[in-house]
Amino acid sequence: MMRQCAIYARYSSDLQRESSIEDQIRKCREYAVARGWEVLEEYVRFDQAVSGAALTGRDALQFLVGAAKRRPKPFDCLLVDDSSRLTRNLADALKTTDLFRFNAIDVVFVAQNFDTSQENSRMMVTMHGMMDEQFLVGLGQKVHRGQEGRVLKGMNPGGRCYGYKNIPIEDPTRHGKYGRLAVEGVRYGSCPPKPPLSDACLRCTPMATVLPPSPNNSMEREFRRLH
């Protein structure tokens, strides 16, 4: 049966490169061509640099959800390269696939080779959704572990702190990509104290230029008396 397909892709800036979008769409197109399905270019959508932990900010996905509710329906199935590209939240995965199924649109997961038209699809979505969600949990624990290790070594775990400057810790035995010494980490260094403001700085002498040059101006006369 000829199916008319939409495609959804997503990449997360901290985990993937931008070209991942092209790779995902290419794999979905190959999947459709192998089965004689038609890809509707108007419904090839993607979200860039957006986390899969929530549906917030997923404009491309929300567009496809809105399109799925139209009558007549604009496409028969939604191709997604991997279940983790749809979402990394189990509840959102079940909710989103149920919404498409309610509108008679199947969600096809290309890499896992299953779609929501199959009888065991809900079990498959649940199983893969649990693994996708657990990946984020494990990633968060690893990031926290790494930050804790840097703090214990007296290093900056990330970002900047007001009143301090970041000082790179270089390894003299290694060189980086551009020939400079490799950086092992960053430590905090206190910024020198700012000099106190002098009386001259506190004076508002430039304000005299904004007053009308009239001897009858009481504000100008008072200003000149004080200064």
**C-beta atoms surrounding 76 within 10 Å:** 19
Structure tokens at 219: 């504000």
**Predicted pLDDT at 219:** 57
141 pLDDT band (50/70/90 cuts)? confident
pLDDT band at 208 (very low <50, low <70, confident <90, very high): very low
Out of 66-75, 88-97, 213-222, which region has the weakest mean confidence (pLDDT)? 213-222
How many beta carbons lie within 10 A of that of residue 221, not counting itself? 13
Q: What percent of the chain has pLDDT over 90?
A: 50
Write the burial class of residue 145 (CB in 10 Å: 0-12 exposed, 13-18 middle, 19+ buried). exposed
Model pTM?
0.68
**CATH of range 4-137; options 3.40.50.10540, 2.40.30.10, 3.40.50.1390, 3.60.20.10:** 3.40.50.1390
3-state secondary structure of 15: coil
